[in-house]
Structure 1
Amino acid sequence: MWQTWWRGLSPSRQDRYAAIAPLVAVVMFFIAIVAAFWYLRSEELEREREAMRRDVEYAQQRIRLRLSERQEQLMRLARDVGNQDVDKNGFNDRADTLISQYAELQALTWIDTARQVRATQFGPSVAAENLLTLDEVIQKKELLELFEMARDLQQPVFSQPLATSDTAPMLLLEVPISQKGRFGGVLLAEFSIENLLRYGTPTEILARYAVTMQDGKGTTLAGTPLTPRVVAQRLLPWRAVPNEFDMPVAPVGNSLKLRAQGYHTSLGLVSNGLFWLVGVLSFMTAWLLVATWRHTRKRIRAQEALQGETNFRRAMENSVLTGMRALDLQGRISYVNAAFCQMTGWSEEELVGKLPPYPYWPEGDQSTYHDMLIDEMSGKVFPGGFQMRVKRKNGTMFEARLYVSPLIDGHGRQTGWMTSMTDITEPNRIREQLSASYERFTIVLEALDASVSVAPLGSAELLFANKLYRQWFGSQTVGHLQLVAQAGVLPSSSNASTSMDDEDGLMGLPSDQITTAVSGNAEIYIPELGKWLEVRSRYLNWVDGRLAQMVIATDITPRREAEEQAARQAEKAATVSRLVTMGEMASSVAHELNQPLSAISNYCSGMITRVKNGSLSEEALLGALEKTAHQAQRAGQVIHRIRSFVKRSEPNRELADVSDIVSEAVELGSIELKRHNVRLSHHVAARLPKVKVDSILIEQVLINLMKNGAESIANAERPAHQRMVELRVVPRKIDATDVIEFSVQDTGRGLSPEALERLFQAFFSTKSEGMGIGLNLCRSIVESHHGRMQAENLYNGTEVTGCNFSFWIPVATPAESAE
């Protein structure tokens, strides 16, 4: 019935229906896409809300676990305080450890039963206005209620976040102290809600949502909430409102809530039902379009056949990049394509019908090319083609390669000769350049001031050797193998696996080590040549496929001599630096010696006076003499330390106790610090392992850093309570290596970015009278002990509060300790 109805329609009506059907299919397809989009939007929104709920629950669990861990640590500290295992100093030490280890813990206070503060400790980087004062701890109503609740319940109690217009919101925790079953006070811990959110919430959740913390009234305490999108409100109102989900933070309760916000994201993949619906509609559209195309194709089939044949021939002629030329049996040009005309510059009208000599033959080569044409037409074909020069219409020449083959028509008869022509000017030029490049490369290798040799593995053949190698070792592989053996760049056979599957039978070496080998270098001494050589090696595949080893040996004898000379000069510079440092400290040293000498003079004058008066007893005389001897020993110790410091000697690295080095440096450095009215505090960790160093050089580094810190504080004109230099020595592990870290921290103005970049350069100084060699020598001394030195500014917010110089030295190995 369908076919009968369709055949009964007129051609115009058939065309109309054929045009309307695809339009209907496209409209239906569009409606289906809109419905699918709406459905997917609803599904995606639901998935987003569910994902947000799971993420917020996970973040809340992380924060709850973090608070629980801090609560357990504080309960252990409260138990030790209640058992009197921890005194005030011990409390300060443990509180300082907790505060420095956990960023959210801002302060820790010990309050007794009379609500008097026994001890308090807070972080060094926390501004004073963000912490509760002692008056607030004693008088604040909320803290009083929290104190009474902890006392009545005898359990840790969290408080509602406290905040004022001047301070940041803080979360408080009071842990009761039990002393033999009685209430003995509380430990008050102050938590930064901002740091709790930052360090307690997983980073992937912070990156995905806008996470904030709010109190019970909905006030934002930490984090930044999202703001509605202005553009989205105008275009997509339902996407302008972000997804939100909040839940209380245990164990604080409803007074502290964790809230997450996130804008709607893009849609997911198409669901199955809509996918098949769209697929069916797409198939219908394609089928109708194909039917329309077939109907139209019947009408233009004859025209396409005619145009197709013509276009095909024209496309062949115009698209081929190779020049094509057809000759008849008499040698007349019967056809040329566009590429041939473009190569020669002659048009098709100028070439077709021409007999030899052709216009593109050079005048001097016409007789030669005519003989070659006769050979071609007589059936002599060159399989690889032949090369000739071709003249363009403008008179320029280019090299071309021609291939000739018989031209057979559709009946199998030869009607002429077909010639293809390719421009080989550029390939010839590249070939000549490669040849010249190879020649230049060979000349460069021969002129190198380094020995270069290549030899295959497992063979005594020398594949390549430059001039310098032949001068040093001759033309044999003995020198190559000697360099390889002394430099240790060949995999050792002792490391080979006993399994035959891991062995290369041809080379006799482990195949896995050969294939994974990389370039290496070593410095060796060749007695026969009397030279130090730097040997570099790498494996490569030779031109014949064999695995070979290339060895490059460079004469570094002058460099080694220069390095030794530089080491001697550095040693002299270190001695000069110590003398300069002591020269700058001369007035302070004189003042330090003046005190014991004055005391000795006073004791002696007093004894003389009392002896003359006859009022000096034997016990008083002995006491005065003992004090005189003590002051004389003190002056002698000062002089001894100075003589040991400035004495020039060869570097003598011995096992040394870190605490002894620090004590010597502090004793000398404190003299300069007292002159600048700067307090010195130092902390040396207990039970530090020994280091193998030159103690005098390390003392020089510490004294220089302390002296620079004191001068920086003096130049900054800091008040008396801020004039302090702190020296800390603690163990560290850097790159899986046990080291001892020395740090000197001052409270000066810090360093500019330009000074930090050039700080350790020779002859660079930030002081107008500085020589610029002190820090450069300090870094050289540290690096000579296999350590590293660095400097950085200390900040309180955006304000620079000082500078910290630190360096580390490796701990002595068991072998060094046994020596």
Structure 2
Amino acid sequence: MPHFSNFRGSLRRLALPTQRLVASWWRRQSPARQDRFATLGPLISVLLFLAAIISAFWYLRNEEIERETEAVKRDTEIAQQQIRLRLIENQEQLVRIAREIVTRTVDAHDFGAQAKTFARERPELTHVSWLSARRERRASVSAAGFQDDSLMATDGSDPSMPVANQSSPAELAFQAAKERRQPVYSPPFADNNGTTVFQIQVPLIDRTGFSGVLIAEYAVEGLLRYSVPTEVATRHAIAVLDAREQVVSSTVTPMPGQRIQRASILHEVPLAPAMNGLILRGQGYRTSIGLISNTLFWMVVALSVLTVWMLLGTWRHMRRRLQIQTALASETNFRRAMENSMLTGMRAMDMDSRISYVNPAFCAMTGFSEAELIGRKPPFPYWPPDRYEENARLQQQEVQGRSPAGGAEVRVMRKDGTIFDARMYVSPLVDTKGKQSGWMASITNITEAKRVRDQLSASHERFTTVLEGLDAAVSVLSVQQGELLFANRSYRLWFGADPAGHALLAGSQLGRGNSPDADEEVDDYSGLPAQHLTDTGSDPREVYVDSLEMWFDVRSRYLQWTDGRLAQMLIATDITVRRHAEALAAQQAEKAQVTSRLMTMGEMASSVAHELNQPLTAITNYCNGMVSRVRGDAIKKDDLLAALEKTAKQAQRAGQIIHRIRNFVKRSEPQRQAAQAYAIVEDAVELAGIELRRRNVAIHTYVAQRLPQLMVDPILIEQVLMNLLKNAAEAIDNASLPVSRRHIELRVVPKHTPELGGHIEFSVTDMGPGLPEEVISRMYEAFFSTKADGLGIGLGLCRSIVESHQGRIRAENLYNGSLVVGCRFAFTIPVDISRSEPLTAGPAGLAVNEKATP
């Protein structure tokens, strides 16, 4: 008893400091928080109680499931063990019988006696049979223990009989037993009676080798019925499943037409030692109901919810009472804070025009204190002296209720004498009973806003003046409505106020919004984000307007108009004069090309005459010879034909020379077409060969094989090659070089560089004296020439032709140390090497070496 008293005293001493601490914390809380804590305590207790009940139910349910799972697992393994022992025992007996058959201690009659005894003691067997190595039935005993000749029929109708060259389960087991020389279990199959069975085949091995098998066939249903202990089958359902998880046999037979409900607890093990795909499954069911179906659980939940609802109702009632108590104070504090934080000045007057209220913003705006303004009557101290009459008139409008709804612009004087612009809005001041007690005015300083507005107005005026003074047409069109939002003077001068002009320049149908069928049109821009459209521009395009006979350079972009609508802006510049100048320049360039070719042929006139003189002289000689021999009747028909053929060849040769010259010098429109490099080179070399032979200059030509096609004007490229070859020949001849240096090399090869991509390079290399550096830098200038009689348009024209084909031309001197030993001109024509096709390189295909004769 003394010890108990000491224990109680110790507890009291420990509890007193804790109690004081809790009491101190409780007193520090506000009444609202104390009410909240007082309500939350019981609420938390009820929720904890409900959580404990749910946890208890959940724990008991899981514990029951675990016990049932362990029981199903244990019974399934017991059933597996019993079946395993029975199969092993039967296998041992079969092995013993097989050993006696092999040692010939038993014949077919004795085997039948042993098999009868074996089958009668094992009702799960359907039959026991003895087969020879040739699958011949030696003896067969049924499950009843009688000899049955219909068993193991050899006509192939019995699925239990192994048949050669088949893939039946019995045959597969027979082959496995023959190969492995040990007992083999067959896969399950259906026998003649539709019963699912499987076999064990024990091989018979004598001195000669494999002599047959001993077959014992098990019925799966019988094996399950006689091997599974009764107490196990009573507690749980045991079933055998095949490889497709179909139930072969079960200790529970369902009612006909009813489907067995899948068990909630399952445990599966293989059917050992057969291991032939059959699975032994134990099934168990929960006996208790779940949480959802438990009445006691729902009663506890309902009572807990009711308690929580009552506590929440009490809490809401307490909070509502506290809100009512603090409503007036909160409203007052809110209104005072709002008035003090406003940047707009507020002024209230009574019906006698006496100031009854001003907020701090009004005092800060005017510089007068609240004491200096309250009770004052007009004229007010913030009125400028020079605007008394105007302010008095506005004051009279206020009293009469005729103040403009949009407010009035007034000028206010601060206490320090400075004046600022303000906008004042006046409205009646009505009390809670609906009676007017005065007037409320709000005043906003608009000095900065007015300054910005004036600047914007001036900026808009300057912007409009600039746009109106532009020679380009500027227009803005709404995309959705097709409405012309802006048009400057040039646009109105050319197109008027019609949005169709904008659509014509834009090359679209944006101006169709006002047509009768506008509702049926499809809006191509609906759903597109305006931000993406306004961030992207469009490439400049040139548009010709038939009605005005003018060319325009049009640039467009999308933007958001001032009201947020998506619009398109166009700037169209008149380029008619420039287009006419470009057309004239193109005509002059074309004439220059023809002129250059005519000049080339003019310079080669003597060489051409000499070239034509040879075939013409040959024709004259052939004709005179034939005339003399015909008159003397000294020519045969064959000789006459041979002479005529030679004459025709010489005439054809002269015609080809004239035809090529005519094609080269005739005027034609530039025409791009697919052409082969070797064909262009052949034509150019044949024409230039006349001049080269006259100047005693040799040419060496190399054209690479399998070059891709060129999309060029062949005559223009021939003109470039002719000019380069002629210039090289003139340089060599004018320098009076020896024969060893009087030759030119023409090469055509494919190349690929990161800068130019795929291209074909034409290069002309001579062994002449080269070009001075100042000539290389100026050789492409118009009318610049190093020849005394040159016009200076050859190389410039060559460069124009090459660049019109998107190529480049360059010249460089060849050096041997510091000595110039030649000059090389090269130009490139771009091609698509990736799409090149195998082409023939021409008759020469590779290199052509010609030597000019004097």
Structure 2-normalised TM-score?
A: 0.40
Structure 1-normalised TM-score?
A: 0.41
